[in-house]
Structure 1
Amino acid sequence: MENTDFINHESIKGYSKIDQYNESKITAVAAHYKDILSQLGEDPEREGLLKTPERVAKSLQYLTHGYDIKPDEILRSAMFEEDYSQMVVVKDIEVYSMCEHHMLPFFGKAHIAYIPNGHIVGLSKIPRVVDAFARRLQVQERLTNEIRDCIQNTLNPKGVAVVIECKHLCMSMRGVQKQNSVTTTSAFTGSFLSNDKTRAEFLRLITASLD
């Protein structure tokens, strides 16, 4: 089986990411999925399913490749000293993750802010941190806290705010089958936690439209 890069190669100031399929893992996971297909009453040898175990194995490796990424290194690769002390907000960051309870997707948006304390970070790095944690088996509550803690511990800002809004297919496809429900989680540190006005400004900014 050919070793295939599935995203890209990136190396920035000590942060290196090489996304490749691990062939031994693909083979092992695919073998299990072939048996799962049989247990479900399917014929894994029929034409439409011949390559399905391998495709699923590759898909799962891609969807969980965040285990191999160090989010703090993503931030450190683009930290700059800057005398700026107002709120920095990055909103509407797309989130795609997998519920660890049923291994079904949940997806939505993340809104993140921090108040610099001598350092700022390249804006593209914040969505990358979101992806690094989201591309793992997750629960939304932990995902929210992990993003908050990573930014707080790495940048040491005066405060961090994270709000995530997601739809969970484990709720809409099975269980209660409520297609329009949205789960919102939030996590704050520093000024966002202690100052009601600062928190209110963040919430106003993430709900405001520029139109």
Structure 2
Amino acid sequence: MAYKKTEQYDEDVTAGLIKTYKESIDLLGEDSEREGLLKTPERMAKAMQFLTQGYQLDAHAILESAKFHEDVNEMVIVKDIELYSMCEHHMLPFYGKAHIAYIPNGYITGLSKIARVVDVYSRRLQVQERLTHQILDAIKDTLNPQGVAVVIEASHLCMMMRGVQKQNSVTTTSAFSGQFEKNETRSEFMKLISATLH
């Protein structure tokens, strides 16, 4: 029995991207008809749709799908959430980790939903600064917590592979709301995401 991989992609989008990527390969001086590149435009078309699938997802709906009433008001932290995104300036990847905390105000959400919110916004053409704030705003608007904190650490291939070519550089962005605007709460969060507790 032959191997068959099933994935679903928009046929019109795929066809348009295949044509564009085929032309791009030829413009770069390659032969899009040679054996090794024959299926490359199709693979690129599907890869880009996968890498930008966040446009089809709703972060608020994801959080609402596992929103529970709970009388707790201690900090909830999900740290070291892997993220992969695409720099909108160069269409090159950036990747790293997100550390997210919120202080409930009557409602909590499933822990996996926090990670899914990261995917919703990272699987788009992005800048790290906006990504950080979009994650914070989605949690703040849906759960109405006492505060939200988001810190992202990422390496950008647009800085590593081209331009200044600094392979060891890491960019850190942060956003805080509510209780996390207070130095004491923010310091506790920063200490906890830096600690090795397990």
Q: Deviations over 1:102-127 (max 9, x none)?
A: 00000000000000000000000000
Aligned partner letter, 2:137: D
Pick from 101, 108, 129 the counterpart of residue 141 of structure 1. Answer: 129
**Given the two structures, how large is their TM-score scaled by the length of structure 1?**
0.91
Gapped regions of structure 2 (runs ≥ 5): none
Q: Distance in 2 between matches of 1:23 and 1:50?
A: 18
Greater fraction of residues in strand? 1
Query: What corresponds to 1:177 in structure 2?
Result: 165
Pairing 1:201–2:188 present:
yes
Q: How far has the Cα of 1:3 moved from its partner? A: 9.8
Pairing 1:192–2:168 present:
no
Q: Indicate the SS of the match to 2:187.
A: helix
Q: Indicate the SS of the match to 1:189.
A: strand
Cα RMSD, aligned residues only:
1.1
Query: What corresponds to 1:151 in structure 2?
Result: 139
Identity %: 66
Q: Distance in 2 between matches of 1:95 and 1:3?
A: 25
Query: What corresponds to 1:10 in structure 2?
Result: none
Q: Deviations over 1:5-30 (max 9, x none)?
A: 3xxxxxxxxxxxxxx31111111101
Q: Distance in 1 between matches of 2:169 and 2:36?
A: 34
Pick from 108, 112, 117 the counterpart of residue 105 of structure 2. Answer: 117
Q: Indicate the SS of the match to 2:111.
A: coil
Aligned partner letter, 1:39: L
**Number of residue pairs aligned between Structure 1 and Structure 2:** 195
Q: Which of structure 1's runs of 4+ aligned residues deviate more than 2 A?
A: 2-5
Matches within 5 A, 1:41-60: 41-60=29-48
Aligned partner letter, 1:147: I
**Given the two structures, how large is their TM-score scaled by the length of structure 2?**
0.97
Q: Indicate the SS of the match to 1:110.
A: strand
Pairing 1:33–2:2 present:
no
Gapped regions of structure 1 (runs ≥ 5): 6-19
Pairing 1:91–2:79 present:
yes
